[in-house]
């Protein structure tokens, strides 16, 4: 009984820690969004939207920083139509969550760490640019209302009455609470199911391993990157290509925030998941074939 209680306390503290680390990023991005929406800062908004290939490049570099708050911030910016589809894809693909700290803690894998970062950034930039090009071609003759998402994101926030700071704090609290509850449930599920069971499903030395690893990466929690990285560090369980595949779909808390803030556009969210999965699997298969 005491052991179960200790486990529950650990789950609660881990979930709280993940959420608290994300809050500064959420608050900063909501201040930016509220300013662009309510202070008529059209030049800043236009600059974000017209970055072209620099959007995915900047997104890939930002996403490679081992901090899950960046992917959460990107999800908010995408929901507010501040960044493009290609840019959020680049951020998500480049995100590795706990993989980088874990590899740094293993001196023998430092050379692999740089290879991991370079490959993920390169794939993220290329994928982001291609996605933006395809999206522009598909929407060339369609009218797109750029204000819709900002309206939905700020709907009933009370910022007109209480100001930008109040609205940013309110949005941050709502999203942080939602993320904490979801993370709490996921951490509990993973703790009681066990990482060993997940590891046993990875199908070592199998062609389909990148397919499975990419699915595990979708677990919207740092646990997915920990599992994938640990299975790679334990030689023979997960190939380098399969590890890359899993880490390409690892978005930290990004997907949780995306489905919360962009909830009126579920098809868009599912499209992003589909694009991430295809990129991850193809990248993993190609790397396994080359290395």
Per residue in 109-128, pLDDT (tens digit) is 788 889 999 999 999 999 99
3-state DSSP of 121-177: HHHHHHHHHHHHHHHHHHCCCCCCCCCHHHHHHCCCCCHHHHCHHHHHHHHHHHHHH
Contact (Cβ atoms closer than 8 angstroms) between residue 34 and residue 154: yes
Cβ contacts of 90 within 8 Å, gap of 6 or more: 55, 56, 57, 59, 60, 63, 124, 125, 127, 128
pLDDT, mean over the chain: 81
Token output for 80: 């507010």
Q: Is 53 a domain residue?
A: yes
Query: Containing domain of residue 156, as a range?
Result: 2-192+254-278
Q: What is the C-alpha separation between 117 and 66, in angstroms, rounded? A: 11
CA angle centred on 78, ends 74 and 80, rounded to 5°: 120
pLDDT of 131 > 90? The answer is yes
Q: Is 40 a domain residue?
A: yes
pLDDT at 129: 95
Q: Is 205 a domain residue?
A: no
Residue written as token pair 């970062």 = 117
Q: Mind listing the pLDDT tens digit for each residue in 59-109?
A: 999 889 877 678 888 898 898 888 999 999 999 999 988 788 878 877 777
Share of the chain above pLDDT 90, in %: 31
pTM here? 0.78
**Structural domains of the chain, count:** 1
Where do the H-state alpha helices sit in the chain?
2-38, 42-49, 54-63, 68-79, 85-94, 99-104, 110-138, 148-153, 159-162, 164-193, 195-200, 209-217, 222-233, 240-248, 254-261, 266-290
- Residue range 12-30: mean pLDDT, rounded: 83
Q: Is 210 a domain residue?
A: no
pLDDT of 219 > 90? The answer is no
pLDDT at 44: 52
Q: Is 6 exposed, middle or buried (0-12, 13-18, 19+ CB in 10 A)?
A: exposed
Q: Is 202 a domain residue?
A: no
Q: What is the C-alpha separation between 214 and 285, in angstroms, rounded? A: 11
Chain-centre distance for alpha carbon 179: 13
Token output for 196: 């060993």
For residue 109, give the DSSP letter. Answer: G
- Residue range 197-204: mean pLDDT, rounded: 63
Q: Is 268 a domain residue?
A: yes
Alpha-carbon separation of residue 185 from 26, 188, 240 (angstroms): 21, 5, 30
Q: What is the C-alpha separation between 192 and 236, in angstroms, rounded? A: 26
Q: What is the C-alpha separation between 86 and 147, in angstroms, rounded? A: 19
- Determine the length of the chain: 291
- Residue range 180-186: mean pLDDT, rounded: 80
pLDDT at 164: 76
Per-residue confidence band for 21, with pLDDT thresholds at 50, 70 and 90: confident
pLDDT of 38 > 70? The answer is no
Q: Is 235 a domain residue?
A: no
Q: Is 144 a domain residue?
A: yes
């Amino acid at each position: 009984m005491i052991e179960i209680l200790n486990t529950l306390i650990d789950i609660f503290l881990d979930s709280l820690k993940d959420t608290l680390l994300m809050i500064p990023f959420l608050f900063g991005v909501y201040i930016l969004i509220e300013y662009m929406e309510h202070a008529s800062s059209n030049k800043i908004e236009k600059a974000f939207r017209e970055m072209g290939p620099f959007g995915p490049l900047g997104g890939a570099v930002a996403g490679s920083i081992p901090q899950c708050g960046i992917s959460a911030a990107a999800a908010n910016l995408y929901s507010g139509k501040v960044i493009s589809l290609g840019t959020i894809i680049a951020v998500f693909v480049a995100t590795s969550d706990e993989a980088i700290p874990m590899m740094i803690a293993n001196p023998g894998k430092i050379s692999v760490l740089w290879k991991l970062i370079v490959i993920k950034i390169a794939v993220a930039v290329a994928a982001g640019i291609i996605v933006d090009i395809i999206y522009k071609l598909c929407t060339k003759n369609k009218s797109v209302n750029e204000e819709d998402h900002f309206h939905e994101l700020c709907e009933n926030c009370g910022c007109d009455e209480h100001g930008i700071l109040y609205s940013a704090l309110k949005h941050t609290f709502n999203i942080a609470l939602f993320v904490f509850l979801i993370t709490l449930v996921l951490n509990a599920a993973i703790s009681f199911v066990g990482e060993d069971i997940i590891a046993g499903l990875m199908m070592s030395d199998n062609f389909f391993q990148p397919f499975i690893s990419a699915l595990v990466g979708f677990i919207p929690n740092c646990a997915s990157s920990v599992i994938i990285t640990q299975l790679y560090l334990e030689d023979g369980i997960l190939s380098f290509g399969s590890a890359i595949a899993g880490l390409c779909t690892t978005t930290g808390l990004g997907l949780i925030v995306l489905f919360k803030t962009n909830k009126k556009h579920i098809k868009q969210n599912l499209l992003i998941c589909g694009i991430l999965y295809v990129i991850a699997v193809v990248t993993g298969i190609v790397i396994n074939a080359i290395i």
